[in-house]
Amino acid sequence: MQGPPGGDVEFQDASSSEDCLSLNVFVPARDTSGRDNAGDALPVMLWIHGGGYTGGGSSEPRLNGDFLPGKGVVLVTINYRLGVFGFLALPEFSAEPGGRSGNYGLMDMVAALRWVQSNIHAFGGDPSRVTLFGESSGSFAVSTLMAIPSARGLFHRAIGESGSALAQGYATLDVRAPKDQKLADALGVKTAAQLRAVPAADILQAVMQAKMHFGPVIDGHFISEPLTSTYLAGRQMDVPLLAGFNRDENSSMAKRMNVWMWRALAVRRFGLKAGDFLALYPDDSDAELRRSAADYGGDSFIAYGTWKWMEYHRKTAHSPIYRYRLDLGAPPSKFHPEEIAFHSDEIEYVFGTLDTRPGAVWRDSDRKLSEQIMSYWTNFAKTGDPNGPGLPTWPTYAESDPVLHLDDPISVRPDEHRARYQFLLQMDTSR
């Protein structure tokens, strides 16, 4: 259940439904004898879709699983409860026998991981080599599940595309519950039983009218503490991590900003540190201002949080980390008329589904990059190391902070923007 799709989301489903706890399994093609080409059990990649925890689904054409398994993996894509149905937090739910409040969508993800452990061998998958990967809120979920005791041991590698939950963090139940109670009040219900009796469509309509948003919560059970505390104490799963983001995660600010607005924003958000901000995001020319506004928009939305995840994991874990940035601007399409590396741009490259993007005329460089990304991702799923024959070498994210730039051609350079993220960390009240 969800509202109308927004942005660049399209579905093959006819409609949304409460009956959503399903998953899809894609395996490599078999030869004419019916024998698996791969032979031995294959590594498994389990995908968590994005959509801000309020929308999305596995039936998006760009998530078609016909191509990635050709690289020698079993692919699983899942659905999970969204919005109010996935994350409503009320103390009465916690008081029920075995009850939990909020986080049902995340619990669905854990249930899918358990299903894989019990059943994926029947599809030729290796339950001891499961890679959890996702984009946007799906990447937020990966960073969260790495810190959740109930997910421990259910996956063995992690890929995060554009997002982590270590920037803004999650509210505690005592903070969230009074806000969520407003929904029950608006529906005129007094008990959990009465709320469950309300038709899902009516609940969804009330949420949309009130413009309410729901996401994970520190409930004291499923999520017991802030994720920053978990990672800094080394209580997260010590698994190999491949993570990164796109150059233009949020360029909307650049389209409406002028120098006076920019400097006012600096003072409003950073006070006495406004000069430090403007030194990192300068505005000496119109072109520089546009680039700085796009950079800060992307940093505050996605890049900083993803960087913080890698940094905190590096502090306390021993497993290797691989960091990337997608730089190659995609050709204009129905949803994105500009040639930029926008938020979610990498999805079609990862799944090998470029031709599902409406209106895009792809170049040879795009198809080459897609093949390279698919190889990096599946190599990582196989061994915990993305490197392999025919690919530019991808070094681990060690003290020199190397970043693999997914571009034409692929290159490796030291982190050119570390000072920006360190400044945002200094101003981060959740750190």
Which of the following is catalytic: 313, 336, 343, 405? Answer: 343
Whether the per-residue pLDDT at 413 is higher than 70: the answer is yes
Averaged pLDDT for residues 96-105: 88
Domain boundaries, the chain: 23-244+300-325+364-402
User: Does position 431 have pLDDT exceeding 80, yes or no?
Assistant: no
| Residue whose tokens read 């619990």 | 107
39 pLDDT band (50/70/90 cuts)? Answer: low
Among 60, 135, 249, 311, which one carries the catalytic annotation? Answer: 249
The CATH code of the domain at 23-244+300-325+364-402 is 3.40.50.1820
Which residue in the list 136, 162, 292, 344 is annotated as catalytic? 136
More confident residue, 15 or 270: 270
pLDDT at 31: 52
Closest by alpha carbon to 1, among 59, 58, 60, 55? 55
Say whether 249 is catalytic.
yes
- Residue 161 catalytic? no
Count of other CB atoms within 10 angstroms of residue 151: 22
Give the chain's mean pLDDT: 94
Mean pLDDT, residues 57-75: 96
Q: What is the pLDDT of residue 4?
A: 86
Q: Is 136 a catalytic residue?
A: yes
Cα–Cα distance measured from residue 45 to residue 49, given in angstroms and rounded to the nearest whole number: 13
Spatial contact of 75 and 47, defined as CB atoms under 8 Å apart: yes
User: Looking at the predicted structure, is the pLDDT value of residue 189 above 50?
Assistant: yes
- 36: which residues sit within 8 A by CB, 6+ positions away? 27, 28, 30, 124
Residue 196 has a CB neighbour count (10 Å cut-off) of: 11
CA distance 53 to 170: 13
| Residue 36 banded pLDDT, cuts 50, 70, 90 | very low
Give the pLDDT band (50/70/90) at residue 46.
very high
Q: Give the model's confidence band at 16: pLDDT under 50 very low, under 70 low, under 90 confident, else very high.
A: confident
Q: Measure Cα distances from 259 to 284, 287, 292, 293 in Å.
A: 9, 11, 11, 10
Question: What is the model's pLDDT at position 132?
Answer: 98
Radius of gyration, alpha carbons of the chain:
22
Determine which of 72-81, 88-97, 421-430 has the lowest per-residue pLDDT on average: 88-97
Assess contact for 292 and 420: CB atoms under 8 A. no
What is the tens place of the pLDDT at every residue in 355-386?
999 999 999 999 999 999 999 999 999 999 99
